[in-house]
Structure 1
Amino acid sequence: MVLIANPIYDSVFKYMMEDERVAKIMLSALLQKEVIKLEMRPHEYTGVTQRKISMMRIDFAATIRNEDGSIQLILIELQKTWLVTETLRFRQYLGSQYIDKKNVPDKNINPKGYGLPIVSIYILGHKLGELQEPVVYVRRKYLDYNSNPIETGVPDPFIESLTHDSIIIQIPYLKGKVRNKLERLLQVFDQSYCVKDNEHIMEIDESGMEVEEQLVVDRLIKAAVEPEVRRDMDVEDEILSEIESRDTTIMMKNREIELMNQELSQKDQELNQKDQELNQKDQELNQKSNMLTSMISLFKKQGMTDEKIAKELNITPEELIKLLK
């Protein structure tokens, strides 16, 4: 058993992926294609100390070998988060990649100005809806009207620059899954290996590991003893604590507002009910007044005096005068 740093933390994940050999191993396994050459893009895309939400972003320009032996240059957009995240954040970042001029190869080799094909990889510290597979591949297909696969002219650079494939990793479902090479590599994200009372450190069994798996583990062993990485993990804990505290406050405020709205709604219903009762009483009074007026008019035609009419209708002379008006 060996102790490694927990790559769910942004600082550890960044440290791990900055090692080109390790990054090639991880990305080759995820893409299921050999990554021949890899270049990490400038770090303005990397949110290591993101204070609104913990979301790590790294871009790679990768030269890969396809199944047919052809060589292709692609852009890999890697995003990792350990909190339930609005998809809008992912969409906004993806949109920025599509409009980034740096993602269009040189005109000498790309005269039509097509953008690099993008593969987006999402490493999530939470579960999606009903999907229970630890790794989910979302791939495009070229189909005709009858849903038959199109073989000629595929892949097309225009379509490839406007659409993309995705790979989603659900960390909670990695628990105990070592069914293939990729899942064996991804077990370093399995949070069930965390040391008790210290989520910064994980305990991994390295017996029987293959060379590539051992390289990944060795990098994380180094991260566990790197002072700067350890400090950054402490900072991330503080940020997460702030986020949780803020979210708790917001949740309580929202609950208070919801209760106030319910009380106001109930009062509105009570007022509406009283208004209906008053309207009904007004209608009844109007009906009674109209009926009395009609009867007074009838008695007047019969020649009865006001005094006799008031006595007959059981009303006061004053009420009679008001009704006559």
Structure 2
Amino acid sequence: MTLIANPIYDSVFKYLMEDDRVAKILLSALLKKEIVELQMRRQEYSAMQQTRISMFRMDFTARIREANGEEHLVMIELQKTWLATETLRFRQYLGTQYLNKENMREEDNGTYGLPIISIYILGHKLGELHEPVVYVRRRYLNYDDCVIEHRDKFIESLTHDSIIVQIPYLKGRTRNHLERLLNLFDQDYIYHADDHLLEIDENKFTGKDEQLLMNRLLKAGVAPEIRRAMDVEDEILSEIEKRDTIIMRKEEEIVKKDEELGKKNEELGKKNEELVKKDEIIREAVRMLSQAGLSVDEIARKFSLSPESVNHLLNE
């Protein structure tokens, strides 16, 4: 058995993807296309010192080769999170990529944005989707839903494909090349004495690409700066969990108070209804006694009311 650094940690994942060969292997496997050239863009990943952060992101510019031999540039937006509350941040970051002028290219017939491929590596599960890797792909269709084979730069600039990896569903799956690589992310291999490490059977990772990723994670596992960074991430996650626990408890208190206020309002509503009915009964009785010839003072004494109140009821 071999101990490697746990790539669920941002610091380890960053170290892994900073190796050009490793990044090309993993991204090619995810895209299921050959990456001819790969360049990591100016990084905007979130600083670990900010306790509000629980999401990591990296961007790449890649020249990919299609099955027919055609090559073209794309932007790969890679985001990773271990919390299930990041949808808004994903959307916000995606929006900044569409607005970023650095992602635009001048063409003979206009200015177009680089096609974006978004990859989300999630440490949590998505609803009813149980596959470890989910591909969301666009298609060009005509009115009759027939597929249009050609691509257009205008459309490619405004829409994008996505790949979602659900780490909890990896569970030792090795059905294809991608799953064999992603198996190194499987959290079932967490070392019992240290969550920073995964304990793997290196005999299961005999492929050249798998060994390259495994060796990179081996180096990360013994690098003091990486170990310290993982400790920092643990502290950040602890703070986030404490914050979320406080928020959850406050929300529960608010819901409980709302329920109590709702019950009180319901009780007050019933009392108001009873008072309205009582007033109607008194009003009708006052009118009947007045019609029977009783004076205002006599009626007032019967109901313990003031003469003014009796006159008010008679005049309504």
Assess same fold via TM > 0.5.
yes
Q: What residue is the counterpart of 1:20 in the other structure? A: 20
Residue from 245, 248, 263 that aligns with 1:251: 248
The answer as to 2:45 corresponding to 1:46 is yes
CA contact (8 A) 2:190 2:199 kept: yes
User: What CA distance in whole angstroms lies between the structure 2 residues aligned with 1:41 and 1:257?
Assistant: 45
In the TM superposition, 1:131-280 aligns within 5 A as: 131-151=129-149, 154-207=150-203, 209-280=206-277
In the TM superposition, 1:1-20 aligns within 5 A as: 1-20=1-20
CA change 1:320–1:70 in 2 (3 A) is closer
> Larger deviation: 251-260 or 89-98?
251-260
Work out the percentage of aligned pairs sharing the same amino acid: 58
CA contact (8 A) 1:40 1:59 kept: yes
SS of 1:36's partner is: strand
> Larger deviation: 34-43 or 254-263?
254-263
Q: What residue is the counterpart of 1:125 in the other structure? A: 123
Unaligned runs of at least 5 residues, structure 1:
298-305
Q: Which amino acid aligns with 1:243?
A: I
Q: Which amino acid aligns with 2:145?
A: S
Q: What are the superposed Cα offsets for residues 205-261 of structure 1, whole Å, 9 maximum, x if unpaired?
A: 221511111000000000001111111000000000000011111111111121111
Unaligned runs of at least 5 residues, structure 2:
none
SS of 1:257's partner is: helix
> Larger deviation: 285-294 or 265-274?
265-274
Q: What residue is the counterpart of 1:34 in the other structure? A: 34
CA change 1:204–1:290 in 2 (3 A) is same
Q: If the length of structure 2 is used for normalisation, what is the TM-score? A: 0.92
CA contact (8 A) 1:53 1:83 kept: no
User: What CA distance in whole angstroms lies between the structure 2 residues aligned with 1:37 and 1:169?
Assistant: 23
CA change 1:319–1:71 in 2 (3 A) is closer
SS of 1:96's partner is: helix
User: What CA distance in whole angstroms lies between the structure 1 residues aligned with 2:108 and 2:98?
Assistant: 16
SS of 1:207's partner is: helix
CA RMSD of aligned residues (A): 2.2
Number of residue-to-residue matches in the alignment = 306
By how many angstroms is 1:48 displaced?
4.0
CA contact (8 A) 1:11 1:48 kept: no
CA contact (8 A) 1:62 1:74 kept: yes
CA change 1:65–1:320 in 2 (3 A) is closer
CA contact (8 A) 2:5 2:217 kept: yes
CA contact (8 A) 2:121 2:164 kept: yes
User: What CA distance in whole angstroms lies between the structure 2 residues aligned with 1:61 and 1:32?
Assistant: 16
By how many angstroms is 1:144 displaced?
0.6
User: What CA distance in whole angstroms lies between the structure 1 residues aligned with 2:180 and 2:305?
Assistant: 97
By how many angstroms is 1:294 displaced?
1.1
Q: What are the superposed Cα offsets for residues 45-80 of structure 1, whole Å, 9 maximum, x if unpaired?
A: 111415213111000000111111011110000000
Q: What are the superposed Cα offsets for residues 136-174 of structure 1, whole Å, 9 maximum, x if unpaired?
A: 0000001111101113xx111111111000000000000
Q: Which amino acid aligns with 1:180?
A: N
Q: What residue is the counterpart of 1:302 in the other structure? A: none
User: What CA distance in whole angstroms lies between the structure 1 residues aligned with 2:154 and 2:109?
Assistant: 12
Write out the 4+ residue segments of structure 1 that deviate beyond 2 Å after TM superposition. Answer: 318-325
In the TM superposition, 1:64-79 aligns within 5 A as: 64-79=64-79
CA contact (8 A) 1:10 1:48 kept: no
Q: What are the superposed Cα offsets for residues 161-216 of structure 1, whole Å, 9 maximum, x if unpaired?
A: 11000000000000121100000000111000010131100012221511111000
Q: What residue is the counterpart of 1:283 in the other structure? A: 280
Q: If the length of structure 1 is used for normalisation, what is the TM-score? A: 0.89
